[in-house]
Structure 1
């Protein structure tokens, strides 16, 4: 707090007087600001020096959005290239019929106007003492011109031929028009879009300029669109890079707004911002009371927008909040939630007034309560009585269907009398659905369990809410449903959520819990979709290079029958492998059906995921405990991996000793292997990575090794398990070898084995369903290196994948349906 001082001292602090006739001061002024009431009382506002310029998140978001649109437009243009060429030819033929004099006049006027309008706007801004904005526009114009020239030169000399042809129309033109891109960059940087008259004029002359350039065959339609988007991207990047003038009202404007609400402030100081980055002030009033004022700045409303959009897209939720919120909507939302919590009888700071501060901010004035946040208390200070008080406050909100949405340690406070006070209503929601109310309970249960343990947290909640309410929140005890801070804390205590679930299940053992799926998709799903799209593109490009009619008529289909038989035997081998690593008896026929069903599941899951999941489910349905079922499948996978490596080394040795010249590893391959080995060593040298790998291996072998010891006690199980693994690999090798021979390839069996074992390892690591794309590419490349002609290699691989991946889908679906109907899955 800064007390009143002499006039000389006030001047040394750069104090600005605000009288009744003065609304606000220059936003760039900071330090100690002053307000003056009607009675000439001067108020010193203690706050940090406000920066003169800010990098607005909205400019960065607009830049990123423009880049995304630009990328999408280029991709669509490349796909529809022929259509665009035809459209351009039609428009060109039509414009050629226009009188030459009229076309010349239009070209001259549009070319002049596209320079005159920005110049006139610059003059107008300079007369209004806004020359800095014009300077920003000139910087953007220079960057736009230089960037378009450099990119154009790169496209012409070294860029993709398809893109260069698309933008130039195979003519001697600039891929990006330098003048047009610089004008658009300038118009974007000076924010001409905020002036309706100038905006309409600017876009009119731009459209005329594009039309004249197009009719004069100086630009193509794709080039015009890309130039516009590129200029906008440069303009937004310039705005974010150099920053924008700070239009946030300073503290003295906050004081002036409070006086309009009939408050009489005598002191003010800036305190820590809230979790959303909004400014907060502690205001002292003349009657001895205090206010806590939250200031909502317009330029902060888009802060955190990517995260909010990601959560809305990824999660199922009943929330009706918009990801992009206006200043007025945010003010009304927080005020409504504050009044609703007061009406519900909850102990919260009373909202005493709201007001706009000019056009760039708004404030909410709350009564000040002397409190301490729960985060500031030691765990030993959180008593059972305090826990009960917290749940009683939450119950009041639940009864009025109010969702708080942020029940964490920084929004739960204790006043001087030890009463619980709930703060931060901005994240809340009125008339909330059951899902949001249950998420509130799950969030608070988890946070309190982090502080006092699962048992005390659940016991306190059950004493206030009752066991049924906790049973309803049980399926919401998921990391994804919790706040970001709580998720971060849970990463250090992974056993907490299972502990909370166990405590709730002990209270309500007979409760029927309906599963709640919050995630629409996982990030892994997004990666799988993208990878599958690329894989499909690869397969289509491979098919386009193959003459299917010639392939079918010239193939030796006797080898194809052998390949089909080998593919069928592989399912029996997979069943024997599973039976061998499960001490409990399993019927061979039904286990074979499970392997067919797994081929159907692999159509939508990565190869290393679908088979493991469906076999584990099958064992659980056969009465094998979940932990032992996972251990059995894990044991088969571990032994299968070891066998795979040994077979690869064996066949590679045989191939190298027989034909050292036909399939010798290249120097590049050896360098790649050494580079991977060095990378692994470096990663294992990082302590966090090493601990993670050690923890994963420890958890794996702690379950797998005892299961293997059980299997090794039975010679029959050993024969089934190891024989099934060996037979499984060999049947796939035989299938691929027969496919190669069917198309006239004469590559040796051991060479094909090396190709298969290598490609299968790559495909198992691919995120696409069944290793789609990765397996085909690896097999085709391997066979080509082994000496098989590229066309025959592609045909062989496609036949092999047809027999082992696509053909079993139909019987796999039938098996999956049959097993589900008989409750075997």
Structure 2
């Protein structure tokens, strides 16, 4: 018999076959996250092999030579036997396994594996017959190893590897050993016969694995999950006799729960009329024997399963752990593991057995600690692909489903009491969201969802649990009530120790998503705690190994280096130094530096709030670094918006202020272009060719006609209107605020004009540095035209578009091609390339100071 928490549940006889289970039909095939992960890993390793053989050709050739010399001393008879065995067995063993699977009615999996093998065969033939002949050299030569091998991939074994990867031999040790032995012998044969190199074999293995798992994920693997009937039937191993069952939760309605849940009603015990069961014991006495006392006066006895028809809708709630779901969300967990310090993260990947043991141990530990939780009746494996945990069913609702008027202070206090018992037992729940707190029909709180729990938890994990539950309840009831009820149970000292951990990164994904709509909630929680404990240390604890912006900085710097180094390398510095007039170069450098001050004034003028000049100018320097990894019209907007938010401007007004400055800058730019275009045409006939040609006019009119027709379509008009509203929402009110302050208006418009003047002076000085000379109106038109193209171009910093436009316009304006090219290169050197390192330093400094 089975003893469960003080009550004896005697085994009941009878089969569970035919137990009705109400559940939707399961899909015939499923896509397992593990297949996608293995496919991605194989592709990444294949790329690594390609990179390795391209940069370490001598090493790979040396390894191949050593293997060839070593096998040359092996007995020829042994090599001949290996060749004979592999030639026959490399196909015979997989075929035999396929036949065995067909006898077990697993033909779908065999068909998918054959599809993967066919794809692998076509790919390898294509690589060997087409790619080698059309693209010899480089990596292919390294794979082929100097021409002594005949193929970059092993055509004979790649399909077999793909077949084995897709057919699934997990748990079949003998078949796995036989298959991989034959594949290994075939690889050895290829090495000794110089048919394939070591690098080619590695590429073959990874290619076969990638195709096998990729096919399996694309087509879907036959669903290995046991049916609800099989799950319920497994309860007999626990001495329980199910009567009926139904699938519970969102998953039954098309949702995506990670675990399946079933509600089960137990069948009446086969007892005689005298109330005695078949082993002579008294049923009611066995079932009702329970804890008579309660813990701290709030844990009354509850009947154990066995009489569900008389004590509620369900007797048991089953949680099913499916093996294919164990890798669900693994990429996110790996990201959290890498990003957060080890003490703050749990195990990333658990086997089915490990997950079953972990949740079972946590359930028993929570009950032993005195916290109220549904009792774990028992656990059992369900075949080889699933396991179940049978909990006593507690009628009730999740905390998130309880109406606000029913979430009383008494209920919150009860939640904190259960949490205190977890803390006293050093048990970390790690997922205390509103779905992890069950409010029973009796009005009491129960702790559920223990799958991520941890026993013997450290202080940091326990404090993180407190921060999570505090935030969860604050989202539900407000910071004031959450902090007040917590303080009444836990004390002010415990809450004060949690303040440094009230960070978004420390919370669960669902909680962080909820905080997007209540961005000030964590701050308000801290304020409430500090009011109770004024001497609280508020400095945040460093939980992250690195921040996402660190990765952004590294990627951005790498891209910038990739773009800048070739550009700078193309410059003829000797020619520039020998022909340039250096005092004009100094003027150009000073004008380039002035642009950052002008950009700062432009931004400050359209922000009613007060901004420091030097820090605002430093932000513009940092923006010069960001422009190299984003289009010119995007990078500056993003960093300025971020800067305003960090300076205390609310997100909406911050976006509106940057939009206002951009809108006024664009309007000024267009007006100056029209004005100076007219002045240039009347003052300098040499620039008449800058006037639009007939072709350009036709193109512009055609584009305008297409745009006008498109705007007559209601759906297109709605999309355009929505985009414009989102882009310039709040801009007009911000402009009205600026217009009410003549000083702000003068600062903004002065900065806008100064920015244009500084760039024009820089370009003009660059031209004069190489002996060129143009009328100043022509220089203005050339700059405005090129700047407009650079802003519209999708390339980082307008690379390519600005250089081409400037060089063409200066040549048309009368400069020689050599002078125009040199001037443009100097101008771009001063305004784009040289500021990269100072911009990166400013970006890092401002991040460190929390300014962006």
- State the TM bucket, normalised to the shorter chain: 0.7 to 0.9
Contact residue 232 and residue 242 of structure 2 kept, 8 A: no
Counterpart CA distance in 2 for 1:360 and 1:351 is 21
The match for 1:140 among 85, 92, 116 is 116
TM-score between the two structures when normalised by the length of structure 2: 0.73
Residues 564, 536 of structure 1: alpha-carbon distance in 2 compared, 3 angstrom cutoff:
same
The farther-off stretch of 328-337 and 101-110 is 101-110
Question: After superposition, where does 1:76-91 map in structure 2 within 5 Å?
Answer: 76-78=52-54, 80=55, 83-84=56-57, 87-88=60-61, 91=64
Residues 94, 731 of structure 1: alpha-carbon distance in 2 compared, 3 angstrom cutoff:
same
Counterpart CA distance in 2 for 1:478 and 1:234 is 42
Q: What does the per-residue CA deviation read over 1:225-252, in whole Å, with 9 as the maximum and x for residues that have no partner?
A: 4333222211112323444454444556
The answer for the alignment partner of 2:736 in structure 1 is 705
Shift of 1:555: 4.1
Question: After superposition, where does 1:230-309 map in structure 2 within 5 Å?
Answer: 230-250=207-227, 254=231, 257-261=234-238, 263-272=239-248, 275-280=257-262, 282=264, 284=266, 286=269, 287-288=306-307, 290-309=315-334
3-state DSSP of counterpart to 1:271: strand
Question: After superposition, where does 1:647-662 map in structure 2 within 5 Å?
Answer: 647=672, 659=687, 661=689
Contact residue 606 and residue 735 of structure 2 kept, 8 A: no
Contact residue 621 and residue 842 of structure 2 kept, 8 A: no
The answer for the alignment partner of 1:727 in structure 2 is 754
Counterpart CA distance in 1 for 2:128 and 2:676 is 51
3-state DSSP of counterpart to 2:455: coil
Residues 379, 638 of structure 1: alpha-carbon distance in 2 compared, 3 angstrom cutoff:
same
Counterpart CA distance in 1 for 2:326 and 2:846 is 53
Counterpart CA distance in 2 for 1:794 and 1:182 is 56
The match for 2:442 among 395, 401, 417 is 417
Pair 1:595 & 2:621 matched? no
Q: What does the per-residue CA deviation read over 1:277-314, in whole Å, with 9 as the maximum and x for residues that have no partner?
A: 24545252634263333232222211221232233334
Pair 1:211 & 2:241 matched? no
Residues 632, 697 of structure 1: alpha-carbon distance in 2 compared, 3 angstrom cutoff:
closer
Shift of 1:134: 4.6
Counterpart CA distance in 1 for 2:234 and 2:186 is 43
Counterpart CA distance in 2 for 1:727 and 1:427 is 59
3-state DSSP of counterpart to 1:427: coil
Counterpart CA distance in 2 for 1:571 and 1:182 is 60
Counterpart CA distance in 2 for 1:800 and 1:644 is 20
Pair 1:327 & 2:327 matched? no
Residues 125, 599 of structure 1: alpha-carbon distance in 2 compared, 3 angstrom cutoff:
closer
Q: What does the per-residue CA deviation read over 1:756-777, in whole Å, with 9 as the maximum and x for residues that have no partner?
A: 52366369x88xxxxxx53444
Contact residue 594 and residue 816 of structure 1 kept, 8 A: no
Question: After superposition, where does 1:528-677 map in structure 2 within 5 Å?
Answer: 529-571=554-596, 573-574=598-599, 577=602, 591=613, 595=617, 599=621, 603=625, 607-608=636-637, 639-647=664-672, 659=687, 661=689
The answer for the alignment partner of 2:205 in structure 1 is 228
Contact residue 743 and residue 795 of structure 1 kept, 8 A: yes
The answer for the alignment partner of 2:804 in structure 1 is 781
Pair 1:383 & 2:359 matched? no
Residues 513, 658 of structure 1: alpha-carbon distance in 2 compared, 3 angstrom cutoff:
farther
The answer for the alignment partner of 1:120 in structure 2 is 93
In structure 1, list runs of 5 or more residues that go unmatched.
1-35, 767-772
Residues 169, 40 of structure 1: alpha-carbon distance in 2 compared, 3 angstrom cutoff:
closer
Question: After superposition, where does 1:489-508 map in structure 2 within 5 Å?
Answer: 489-490=514-515
Contact residue 766 and residue 823 of structure 2 kept, 8 A: yes
3-state DSSP of counterpart to 1:425: coil
Contact residue 90 and residue 182 of structure 2 kept, 8 A: yes
The match for 1:367 among 368, 392, 397 is 392
Contact residue 782 and residue 810 of structure 2 kept, 8 A: no
Contact residue 600 and residue 810 of structure 1 kept, 8 A: no
Shift of 1:332: 2.2
Counterpart CA distance in 2 for 1:603 and 1:235 is 43
Contact residue 47 and residue 269 of structure 1 kept, 8 A: yes
Q: What does the per-residue CA deviation read over 1:18-75, in whole Å, with 9 as the maximum and x for residues that have no partner?
A: xxxxxxxxxxxxxxxxxx9756686625254555654433222211222233334445
Residues 556, 198 of structure 1: alpha-carbon distance in 2 compared, 3 angstrom cutoff:
farther
Contact residue 89 and residue 182 of structure 2 kept, 8 A: no
The answer for the alignment partner of 1:336 in structure 2 is 361
TM-score between the two structures when normalised by the length of structure 1: 0.75
Q: Report how many residues are paired.
A: 765
The answer for the alignment partner of 2:303 in structure 1 is none
In structure 2, list runs of 5 or more residues that go unmatched.
1-10, 252-256, 270-305, 309-314, 628-634
Contact residue 652 and residue 754 of structure 1 kept, 8 A: no
The answer for the alignment partner of 1:190 in structure 2 is 167
Contact residue 283 and residue 293 of structure 1 kept, 8 A: no
Residues 69, 809 of structure 1: alpha-carbon distance in 2 compared, 3 angstrom cutoff:
closer
Shift of 1:181: 2.8
Shift of 1:271: 2.6
The match for 2:431 among 406, 410, 429 is 406
Residues 522, 115 of structure 1: alpha-carbon distance in 2 compared, 3 angstrom cutoff:
farther
Q: What does the per-residue CA deviation read over 1:72-114, in whole Å, with 9 as the maximum and x for residues that have no partner?
A: 4445555x2xx42785499579969998999999699749825
Residues 437, 297 of structure 1: alpha-carbon distance in 2 compared, 3 angstrom cutoff:
same
Q: What does the per-residue CA deviation read over 1:687-741, in whole Å, with 9 as the maximum and x for residues that have no partner?
A: 699668636644455455324422x1x4xx6555433332222222332443355
**RMSD between superposed Cα atoms in Å:** 5.3
Counterpart CA distance in 2 for 1:122 and 1:579 is 75
Pair 1:46 & 2:69 matched? no
Counterpart CA distance in 2 for 1:814 and 1:354 is 58
The answer for the alignment partner of 2:182 in structure 1 is 202
Question: After superposition, where does 1:4-83 map in structure 2 within 5 Å?
Answer: 38=13, 44=19, 46=21, 48=23, 53-78=29-54, 80=55, 83=56
3-state DSSP of counterpart to 1:430: coil
The match for 1:513 among 538, 548, 565 is 538
Residues 46, 578 of structure 1: alpha-carbon distance in 2 compared, 3 angstrom cutoff:
closer
Contact residue 780 and residue 793 of structure 1 kept, 8 A: no
Shift of 1:440: 3.6
